[in-house]
């Protein structure tokens, strides 16, 4: 099929009796240039294992299959799954493997079953993008490189620096695990149906930081707790956090003082290394 043609897409959907579901963010990428850019950025090597999240009708999948012999796709929509199986088959020997269902629930089992992919890509469904990415970080799922299309605002949050409006716990999560770089913006017209938002292509490269928290799970929970209420100071967020309920307020206060932080400081002023240091002090191991 011609993936650049809204008419072709409409015809296939109508032949298969597939109605588009807004909740699954089904905006197909009709710009071949954008798809090629994603695949180029992914820099696939022939025998590497690739994952694609939300293949839809296979616009990106087709290009990926030209470059790799080992692709696993995750799709939730039963109608699209039928089409993908018709189009690309469902045999591991052919290098195409399809995982049915909600990727938020299926990716971990697939990781256990088939190991860490070298590359992950996808024109991500808007509603689940942050859930998917936060889940990856929380579980320590760090493929060498990932390239996604996400809503522009989400890309801004992923790349925001301390002190910027968009800086949040999600920024710390993403930048702790990956070097995150916005490669380009995509106009709404790059998709069909045309969404109401601008999108960005974002590249995430796994990074090994010099500073590592002693307890990674605690560090991530602390980051969430620190940003729990944006209008509150860091100190007050920590005082009211269930995560730290066993700690005396005076101990939390002392840790902040040891770091040279003022009582009025807010989480959005701390950089990643500050959070790592704070987590180590609070977990009592520094
Ligand atoms: N890759 C195709 C393209 O660019 O033309 C389609 C991208 S579309 C933005 C998002 C795709 O993700 C849809 O195929 C949708 O059905 C699928 N999807 C949405 N939520 C999902 C979920 N939770 N798990 C797996 N797939 C999902």
Q: What is the pLDDT along the chain (286 residues), one digit of tens a residue?
A: 899 999 999 999 999 999 999 899 999 999 999 999 999 999 998 889 999 999 999 999 999 998 887 999 999 999 999 999 999 986 556 689 999 999 999 999 999 999 999 999 999 999 999 999 999 999 999 999 999 999 999 999 999 999 999 999 999 999 999 999 999 999 999 999 999 999 999 999 999 877 889 999 999 999 999 999 988 999 999 999 999 999 999 999 999 999 999 999 999 999 999 999 999 999 975 4
Architecture of domain 216-283: Orthogonal Bundle (1.10)
Residue having the nearest C-alpha atom to atom 11 of ligand 1:
54
Q: Does the CB atom of residue 48 touch ligand 1 within 6 A?
A: no
243 near 213, Cβ under 8 Å?
no
CATH of 6-206, one of 3.40.50.150, 3.30.1370.60, 3.30.950.10, 3.30.160.20: 3.40.50.150
Q: Does the CB atom of residue 149 touch ligand 1 within 6 A?
A: no
What is each CA distance from 234 to 157, 252, 256, 270, in whole angstroms? 19, 11, 9, 9
Residue having the nearest C-alpha atom to atom 22 of ligand 1:
102
29 near 91, Cβ under 8 Å?
no
pLDDT of residue 93: 65
Q: Does the CB atom of residue 121 touch ligand 1 within 6 A?
A: no
Residue whose CB lies within 8 A of the most ligand 1 atoms, among 38, 125, 191, for a mutation test: 125
Q: Does the CB atom of residue 83 touch ligand 1 within 6 A?
A: no
Q: From the alpha carbon of 21, which atom of ligand 1 is closest? A: 16
Residue having the nearest C-alpha atom to atom 14 of ligand 1:
56
* Of residues 72, 75, 145, 82, the one with CA closest to residue 104: 75
Residue having the nearest C-alpha atom to atom 6 of ligand 1:
56
Same fold flag, 6-206 and 216-283: no
Q: Does the CB atom of residue 54 touch ligand 1 within 6 A?
A: yes
CB-based contacts of 8, cutoff 8 Å, min separation 6: 1, 2
Q: Does the CB atom of residue 26 touch ligand 1 within 6 A?
A: yes
Domain boundaries, the chain: 6-206, 216-283
């Amino acid at each position: 099929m011609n993936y650049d043609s809204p008419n072709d897409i409409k015809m296939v959907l109508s032949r298969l009796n597939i109605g588009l579901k807004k909740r699954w963010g089904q905006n197909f990428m009709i710009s071949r240039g954008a798809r090629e850019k994603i695949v180029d950025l992914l820099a696939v090597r022939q025998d590497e294992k690739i994952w694609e999240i939300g293949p839809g009708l296979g616009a990106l999948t087709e290009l990926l299959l030209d470059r790799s012999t080992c692709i696993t796709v995750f799709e939730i929509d039963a109608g699209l799954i039928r089409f993908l199986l018709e189009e690309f088959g469902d045999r591991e020997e052919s290098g195409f493997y399809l995982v049915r269902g909600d990727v938020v629930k299926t990716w971990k089992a697939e990781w256990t079953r088939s190991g860490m992919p070298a590359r992950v890509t996808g024109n991500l469904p808007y509603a689940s993008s942050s859930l998917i990415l936060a889940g990856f970080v929380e579980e320590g799922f760090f493929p060498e490189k990932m390239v996604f299309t996400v809503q522009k605002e989400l890309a801004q949050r992923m790349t925001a620096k301390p002190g910027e409006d968009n800086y949040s716990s999600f920024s710390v999560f993403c930048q702790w695990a990956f070097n995150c770089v916005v490669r380009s913006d995509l106009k709404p017209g790059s998709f069909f149906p045309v969404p109401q938002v601008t999108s960005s292509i974002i590249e995430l490269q796994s990074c090994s930081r010099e500073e590592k928290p002693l307890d990674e799970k605690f560090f991530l929970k602390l980051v969430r707790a620190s940003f729990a209420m944006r209008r509150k100071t860091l100190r007050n967020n920590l005082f009211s956090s269930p995560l730290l309920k066993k700690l005396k307020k005076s101990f939390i206060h002392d840790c902040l003082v040891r770091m040279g932080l003022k009582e009025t400081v807010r989480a959005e002023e701390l950089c990643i290394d500050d959070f790592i240091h704070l987590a180590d002090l609070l977990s009592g191991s520094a």
